[in-house]
Amino acid sequence: MRPAIFSAVLVVLLAATGCGGKKEASVFQSAGKCPPVASAASAGNAELNAQALGGRYSKLIVIHAKEKSSGAPIHGGDVTIQANMACPDVMHLYEKKLQETSPGTYKTGYTLVMPGQWTFSVVLRAKNGDATTGTFPVTVKLGG
């Protein structure tokens, strides 16, 4: 009689803990179910426009910076970016400096590490000391 009770208790425990039951979606499977993230307007004296070009994980980040008042490109600025993920996981990646390739255009390569909704934070420090910040979203989809 005891072996039957033990077996019944074991089956109930296995069912309650999920063993042998329906599998939960992994973080990677839920990457396509993240809510969209909107770009934030530039805060500061510059207008920032950003693009993430290239492959699934390996991106070429291009930032165009111009003065809000005159529309002139901002030459000689110090531009840094950092990628942060909020969905399906929370992750903060490395900060990287961009190189100016033409007046007001700054570029760098940046590698994302998994599918999900990423937000790039951008900081521009102009020669005169003004700072401008902004964000832009990048989605890396599962399977391409």
Give residue 32's pLDDT.
Answer: 54
Backbone angles phi, psi at 30, to 5 degrees: -90, 0
Q: Distance (Å, rounded) from C-alpha 76 to C-alpha 128? A: 10
Q: List the chain pLDDT tens, one digit each, 144 residues.
A: 444 443 443 333 334 434 444 433 444 455 457 776 666 667 889 999 999 999 999 999 999 999 999 999 999 999 999 999 989 889 999 999 999 999 999 999 999 999 999 999 999 999 888 999 999 999 998 874
pTM here is: 0.74
pLDDT at 10: 37
**Phi, psi torsion values for 15, nearest 5 degrees:** -65, -40
CA angle 144, 135, 94 (to 5 degrees): 70
List, in order of start, the domains of the chain with CATH numbers: 26-140 (2.60.40.10)
